[in-house]
């Protein structure tokens, strides 16, 4: 049998959300409780996370839809892939972003520039 790393026999841990040390992302900690025990774990919230969904809810997103001429935004949906630390997550979420007004084009570097 494997011995528990922290000496705890408890198996029904309840974990809170990751709380960053400062601002709304970066290194922080999450608190857990099990019966009369409690402990803290180090955690990290990436600074590009979708704040709306919580950092412990992981989604698989579809491709972006077409641009709506009425609203000027495009939409895509995400289906819940994994809920970490018993997080309460929505099964399906929707995100929007402004439509790009410019068409991106790759500019090719001129070969031999600066040489005669």
pLDDT digit string (tens) for 35-90? 889 999 998 887 876 567 777 888 999 999 999 989 999 999 999 999 988 888 99
Q: Which token pair is 86? A: 């018993």
pLDDT band at 2 (very low <50, low <70, confident <90, very high): very low
| 27, 20 Cβ separation under 8 angstroms | yes
> CATH topology for 11-46?
Heparin-binding Growth Factor, Midkine; Chain A (2.20.60)
Torsional class of 86: left (φ above 0), alpha (ψ -120 to 50), beta (otherwise): left
- 3-state SS of 41-93 is EEEEECCCCCCCCCCCEEEEECCCCCCCCCCCEEEEEEEEEEEHHHCCCCCEE
Reference 57, options 30, 82, 21; nearest CA is 82
Question: Domain extents for the chain?
Answer: 11-46, 48-100
Confidence (pLDDT) at 47: 80
Confidence (pLDDT) at 101: 63
| 45, 28 Cβ separation under 8 angstroms | yes
pLDDT band at 4 (very low <50, low <70, confident <90, very high): very low
Confidence (pLDDT) at 106: 52
């Amino acid at each position: 049998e494997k011995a528990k790393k922290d000496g705890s026999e408890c198996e029904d841990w309840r974990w809170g959300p990751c709380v960053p040390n400062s601002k709304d992302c970066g290194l922080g900690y999450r608190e857990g409780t099990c019966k009369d025990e409690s402990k803290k774990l180090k955690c990290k919230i990436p600074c590009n996370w979708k704040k709306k969904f919580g950092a412990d809810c992981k989604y698989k997103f579809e491709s972006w839809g077409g641009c709506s001429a009425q609203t000027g935004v495009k939409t895509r949906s995400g289906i819940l892939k994994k809920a970490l630390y018993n997080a309460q997550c929505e099964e399906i979420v929707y995100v929007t972003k402004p439509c790009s007004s410019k068409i991106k084009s790759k500019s090719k570097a001129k070969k031999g520039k600066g040489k005669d």
